[in-house]
């Protein structure tokens, strides 16, 4: 079990002072080029070239570093990873600019116990689907949103709807964690918890009959021999099925970006360099990404990223993916305010970064 690092509020740390040329970053355990750029030190290198510095949000005391990872309520912050917190941040928290998107080809799975007679989602009619519910009201319950969307997609593919199954809430304490020097240190501590989530344990205990699991989580579960997949969205040709807390969103505070265009371009230069390196070194890249994500083995990571386009370009289909994700969040009450994703996105930073790399 992971260390719970929240302290009593009496010992709250001093406020963080962010200097004019200081940038902070936080990255989810996802297959994005910025994770590799960070591991290689390229982001820091690019920022230093222009007299800026880089710090890791989650190196801060957990009271200061945990919630901003989701809300983006932190000055000068770059965030890359799951788009649900990013959309929530933009809708209900703080003005950010979307500067990159990365698609995944693995929208997730539906997992049941290995000894269950069900061999397809249609056979789960009338059964219990576990759905995580966070006890932490201060942040969007992005994990519940991802799972709920996955369950509804799977039911639709099986010709079923929500009314055909029983949704069982599974409590998730959702306590903060952090205080790691960099992402690889943070996720090294959390690897097991990212697979054996509360709803996975409820499934194992027979309290529910099926759960949604991301691709990497499903692999970790089935390797125990106790679970099997009855649906894997990546087996379907429909790109919209792969929209699952993705396309991963790279965002930055709008006021910071406007005042420090060169820092945003520098961050994207490092990311674009990493994307190109990944394109030419998939197997080696898998070993790097494996340190900051949670697929069971490097080979699983390599297989998962075989078709990934790592350049975080703001293409029409990726933006359409954001719109699908956002529509789900609005319709299911996860966010209170809608916004235009085309206004959120600004491709000029990436364009400038790519241009500077060719000149």
Partner 1 sequence: MTIAVDRSIEANATPVLRELIYTICPVLVASNVALELGWIHDELGRVGAKPTYLRSALSDVAWPAHYNHDSGRLLRDGGNSPAIWSKADLRPTVLLGLTQAQPAGKVLVRTDSDIHRVADLKGRRFGLYKSQRNEKIDHRRATGEHGILAVLALHGLDRRDVEIVDIEDADAHTEAPADTPAGIWAQRRATRQDELTLEARALDAGTIDAIYDYSIGVDIRLTQTGRFRVIEDLDRYPDWTLRIANAPRTLTVSTEFAKANRDIVVAWLRASIRAGRWINAHPEAAADIFYRTTIYADRDAIARALRDFDLVPNLSAQNLAGLRLETDFLRAHGYIAGDVDVNEWADSSYLEEAVTSLRRG
Query: Interface with partner 1 by CB under 8 A: which residues?
Result: 153, 156-157, 159, 235-240, 315-321, 323-324
CB of 60 to partner 1, least distance (A): 37
Q: How far is the CB of 308 from partner 1 (least distance, A)?
A: 15
Instruction: Give the integer Cα–Cα distance in Å for 231 and 233.
Output: 6
**What is the spatial distance between Cα 118 and Cα 121, in angstroms, rounded to a whole number?**
7
Torsions phi, psi for 54 (to 5 deg): -130, 135
Of 36 and 329, which CB lies nearer to partner 1 in the complex structure? 329
List the beta strands (DSSP E) in the chain. Answer: 22-27, 53-56, 77-81, 96-102, 109-113, 128-134, 166-172, 210-213, 227-232, 248-253
Identify which of residues 178 and 247 has a Cβ nearer to partner 1 in the complex.
247
Overall size of the chain counted in residues: 359
**Interstrand relation of 166-172 and 77-81 (parallel, antiparallel or unpaired):** unpaired
C-beta of 4: minimal distance to partner 1 in Å?
A: 40
Nearer to partner 1, 47 or 319 (CB): 319
Q: Can the peptide bond before residue 321 be classed as cis, meaning omega within 30 degrees of 0?
A: no
Comparing CB distances to partner 1, the nearer of 315 and 348 is 315
Which residue lies nearer to partner 1 by CB, 37 or 249?
Answer: 249
CB of 94 to partner 1, least distance (A): 26
Closest to partner 1 by CB, 204 or 234: 234
- The H or E element spanning position 222 is helix 215-222
Among 124, 126, 108, residue whose Cα is nearest residue 116: 124
For the CB of residue 233, give the shortest distance to partner 1 in the complex, in Å. Answer: 11
Burial class, 15, CB count within 10 angstroms (exposed 0-12 / middle 13-18 / buried 19+): exposed
Nearer to partner 1, 85 or 321 (CB): 321
Closest CA to 243 of 141, 329, 179: 329
Closest distance of CB 9 from partner 1, Å: 45
What's the closest the beta carbon of residue 331 comes to partner 1, in angstroms?
13
């Amino acid at each position: 079990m992971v260390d719970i690092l929240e302290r009593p509020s009496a010992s709250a740390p001093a406020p963080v002072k962010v200097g004019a040329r200081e940038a902070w970053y936080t990255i989810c355990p996802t297959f994005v080029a910025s994770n590799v750029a960070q591991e290689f030190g390229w982001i820091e290198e690019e920022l230093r070239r222009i007299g800026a510095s880089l710090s890791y949000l989650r190196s801060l005391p957990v009271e200061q570093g945990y919630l901003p990872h989701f809300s983006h309520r932190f000055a000068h912050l770059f965030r890359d990873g799951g788009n649900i917190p990013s959309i929530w941040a933009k809708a209900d928290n703080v003005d950010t600019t979307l500067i990159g998107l990365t698609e995944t080809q693995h929208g997730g799975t539906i997992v049941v116990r290995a000894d269950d007679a069900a061999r397809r989602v249609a056979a789960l009619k009338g059964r219990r689907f576990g759905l995580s519910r966070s006890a932490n009201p201060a942040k969007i319950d992005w994990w519940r949103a991802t799972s709920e969307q996955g369950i509804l997609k799977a039911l639709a593919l099986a010709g079923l709807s929500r009314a055909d199954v029983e949704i069982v809430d599974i409590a998730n304490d959702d306590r903060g964690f952090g205080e790691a020097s960099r992402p690889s240190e943070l996720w090294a501590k959390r690897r097991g918890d990212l697979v054996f989530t509360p709803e996975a344990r409820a499934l194992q205990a027979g309290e529910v009959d099926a759960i949604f699991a991301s691709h990497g989580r499903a692999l970790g579960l089935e390797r125990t021999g106790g679970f099997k997949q009855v649906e894997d969205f990546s087996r379907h040709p429909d790109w919209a099925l792969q929209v699952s807390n993705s396309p991963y969103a790279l965002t930055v505070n709008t006021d910071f970006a406007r005042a420090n265009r060169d820092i945003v371009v520098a961050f994207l230069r490092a990311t674009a360099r990493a994307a190109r390196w990944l394109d030419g070194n998939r197997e080696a890249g898998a070993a790097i990404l494996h340190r900051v994500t949670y697929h069971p083995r490097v080979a699983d990571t390599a297989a998962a990223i075989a078709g990934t386009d790592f350049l975080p370009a703001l293409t029409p289909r990726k933006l359409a993916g954001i719109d699908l994700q956002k529509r789900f969040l609005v319709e299911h009450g996860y966010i209170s305010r809608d916004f235009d994703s085309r206004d959120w996105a600004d491709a000029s930073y990436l364009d400038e970064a790519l241009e500077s790399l060719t000149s």
